[in-house]
Amino acid sequence: QKEVEQNSGPLSVPEGAIASLNCTYSDRGSQSFFWYRQYSGKSPELIMSIYSNGDKEDGRFTAQLNKASQYVSLLIRDSQPSDSATYLCAVGGYQKVTFGTGTKLQVIP
Partner 1 sequence: DARVTQTPRHKVTEMGQEVTMRCQPILGHNTVFWYRQTMMQGLELLAYFRNRAPLDDSGMPKDRFSAEMPDATLATLKIQPSEPRDSAVYFCASSLPGRAVYEQYFGPGTRLTVT
Distance of closest approach, residue 40 Cβ to partner 1, in angstroms: 12
Q: Does 95 bind partner 1 (CB under 8 A)?
A: yes
Residue closer to partner 1 (CB basis): 5 or 106:
5
DSSP per residue, 89-101: EEEEETTEEEE--
Q: In what order do the strands lie in the sheet with 4-5?
A: 4-5, 19-25, 71-76, 61-66, 54-58
Which residues between 17 and 76 bind partner 1 (CB under 8 A)? Answer: 32, 34, 42-46, 49, 51
Query: Cis omega (within 30 of 0) on the bond before 109?
Result: no
- Whether the CB-CB separation of 105 and 84 falls below 8 Å is answered with yes
**Which CB, 43 or 109, lies closer to partner 1?**
43
**Minimal distance, residue 16 CB to partner 1, in Å:** 30
Report which residue type is found at 39: Y
| Residue whose CB is less far from partner 1, 11 or 17 | 11
Among positions 50, 90, 105, 107, the unique one binding partner 1 when judged by CB under 8 A: 90
**Rounded Cα–Cα distance for residues 59 and 1 (Å):** 34
**Residues making contact with partner 1 (CB under 8 A):** 32, 34, 42-46, 49, 51, 88, 90, 92, 95-102
